[in-house]
Structure formats: C-alpha cells, structure tokens
Amino acid sequence: MRECGSRFRASSFSTAALLTLGVVLSASPACAQAPTNASSDAPLQENMPHSWFRNYDYGVQLDGKVLGEAGLYQMIGKPFMLIYGSALDNAYVWSADPRVVRAIRREEVTQKGDDEVMLAESTFAASAPIPWMQDGPEGVVFYSGQKRFKILRVPPIIGSTSAEELLRQLPAYKKGMEEYHPNADAVTAIKGVRQPVNVEVWFGSWCPHCRAVVPRFLKLLQAAANANLAVSFEGVPREFGTYAPSLARDVKGLPTFIFTKDGKELGRIRGEPATGTLEDEIARILRQVNTASGG
C-alpha cells in the first residue's frame, strides 16, 4: 500500500543550499528518504544524464500568468531547479550558487514520466548566465529577452473544497483524470448503489500519492454518475499529523477515503488498495449497502 504518511517529515526535494536565497523548500511528507545535500562546486559528470523530479510546492509565472503546463524539477542533492514544460520555448536551469539562470533548448530534456525528466549537468554548464532577483521571501524573478518569469510557492489547499476546484487548481489532477479508465464492472456496481452514502476524501495537494490516486476517484465519480454518493474533499497541510480536523477523523495516511451511512462507518481506504484497483475496493465497500437493503 502506497500512501503519504504523517510519520514522514522530510522531502526528497529539500535542498539546504536554497536557504541562501530565502527560498526555502520546506520539508513535506513526500514519502521518500531525505537526500544528502551536495556542494554546488561538485565536478560535473559529462554526458551523464541525471533524474530531475517534479516539485509541486512551487509554480511558474510568465508575464504574470501561471503556467499550468510548466513545472519545476529538482535533482536530488543539488542546488538547481529546472523549469520545463510544453508551454515554454526553452527550458531554464535556476542555480542558487552562482545566482544565475541558464537557458537551454527544451529538446535537451528527456521526459521519463509525469514527475521525472532526464538532463545532464554538462548540458547547461556552458550556457550564458542570466541574473535573477529575489522577489519577496519566497519568490525569484528573472528575464529572458522580454519575458518575465517568476518562481513562486504554491500554497496547499486546506479545508473543504470541491471536485471542480481541485481540477481548476491542480492541472495534474485533470490530466490524471482524463487518462484513467476505471474497471467497467466496478463502475456498474457503484452506479447501482441505491442508498445515500457519504464519502470523505482526505488529501494533500502537495502529496504525490494523492496526485496518482485522487484523479482516479474523480474519474470513477464521473463514470458512475450516482447522485446517492455525497462526496466531500478535505485538504490538509503537510504536517497533517497535528492538524485537528484530520486527527478527529483518525486520518493517518493520504489519501484516505471514508465511507459512512447514517453516521456509521462502512469502511475506509488509505492510500492505494493492497490488491485490485481503487474502484474494485470501493465497489466492495459499497456492496454491503445494497445487501443491507435487500438488493
């Protein structure tokens, strides 16, 4: 079972070198071991591609507009951030030391998945440096030609929200929803639930496993189109282990789906099911509703 657990306090994206900027990539329970930070003057490994991982804590603005299709990636243990996406003509590598940005051709970046790309340090080492400026305690601004770029922290979604708001604020959720195709038999079973059931979805907008699982649930809701399912979404902060609302519901990992009927809990799913699909497990939990009502 994969999930974001409250016991984790370190992020695989944390980099102490960024403290020199005042741009702090705060620790978050990203379900990964914290890396050892490396010195920025470490020798380059020529022709050796490195993995860069998406950091959803930060976003990119171009001329004041948020670029939902562009993201920031980090190489573990290095004081660099890669700005990359289909909305950009070039990719950019931001450096904490020296304080410069280097433009590279987007074709130099190899996409490995939604959250990982490949790029060698030697690719950008010789690029012309562009100075950057700090903008507030957690922002960075630089110019490429006449274009103004800004790196800024994306605040987590906290509290009650809606499916529509999730899809508006989190492009990765929309993409994941569009790409997922739930099991047809499970969809039919969930569509057939004839009694009202409440479903609580506890998630972190910063949580990588939520980005994988919650869009599948959204697609399932769309496919089943069952008005008997009353769904609520509750966003939690990174330190959700001390967050009163999630404590009250005994939420110990993310995402957590809680199913209740008439105030009685029918079951819950934490993370991803150990076996089978998410929709299979939901159908199993909801099947008891029809059984109890004589269906």
Summarised one tens digit per residue, pLDDT across range 244-262 is: 999 999 999 999 999 999 9
Are 189 and 286 within 8 A, CB to CB?
Answer: yes
- Pairing state of beta strands 110-113 and 100-105? unpaired
Q: Could you tell me if 149 and 183 lie in one domain?
A: no
From 153, 184, 215, give the residue that closes a domain: 153
**Looking at the structure, do residues 67 and 183 belong to the same domain, yes or no?**
no
Residues of the chain whose pLDDT is less than 70? 1-2, 5-48, 291-295
> 60 and 129: one domain?
yes
104 and 185 in a common domain: no
199 and 83 in one domain?
A: no
Q: Are residues 194 and 124 in the same domain?
A: no
Residue 179's SS3 state is helix
Q: What is the pTM of this model?
A: 0.70
Both 26 and 112 in one domain: the answer is yes
**Short-list 31, 42, 36, 30, CA closest to 15:** 36
Q: Residue 2's pLDDT is what?
A: 63
Cα(183)–Cα(266) distance, rounded to whole angstroms? 22
Helix axes 208-224, 171-179, angle to 10 degrees: 50
Query: Which domain does 240 fall in, by range?
Result: 159-292
Asked which of 115, 131, 153 is the last residue of a domain, the reply is: 153
Q: What angle do CA 204, 118, 38 make, to 5 degrees?
A: 75
Q: Residue 232: what pLDDT?
A: 98
CA distances from 29 to 14, 81, 281 (A): 11, 20, 25
211 φ/ψ angles, rounded to the nearest 5 degrees = -65, -25
Which long-range contacts does 88-94 make (Cβ < 8 Å, 24+ apart)? 88/62, 90/144, 91/119, 92/130, 92/142, 92/144, 92/149, 93/119, 93/124, 93/127, 94/132, 94/140, 94/142, 94/151
Total number of domains in the chain: 2
User: Can you give the pLDDT at residue 114?
Assistant: 75
Residues 141 and 175 in one domain: no
Which pLDDT score is estimated for 186?
95
Do 8 and 141 lie in a common domain?
A: yes
Which among 49, 105, 59 has a CA at the least distance from the CA of 81? 59
Helix, strand, coil shares of the chain, percent, nearest 5, are 25, 35, 40
Q: What is the pLDDT of residue 196?
A: 96
Q: What is the CATH number of the domain that holds 277?
A: 3.40.30.10
**Ramachandran area for residue 271 (φ above 0: left; ψ -120 to 50: alpha; else beta):** left
Question: Is the separation of the CB atoms in 164 and 221 below 8 Å?
Answer: no
The two counts, helices (H) then strands (E), for the chain are 7, 19
Helix or strand (DSSP H, E) at 283: helix 278-292
Are 175 and 281 in a shared domain?
yes
At 15 the pLDDT is: 36
Looking at the fold, whether 147 and 288 belong to one and the same domain comes out as: no
Place of tokens 């695989």: 12
Q: Among residues 153, 170, 196, which one ends one of the domains?
A: 153
Give the model confidence (pLDDT) of 67-84 as tens digits: 877 889 998 888 899 999
- Give the per-residue pLDDT at 56: 80
Question: Are 137 and 218 contained in the same domain?
Answer: no
User: Strands 65-66 and 116-120: what pairing?
Assistant: unpaired
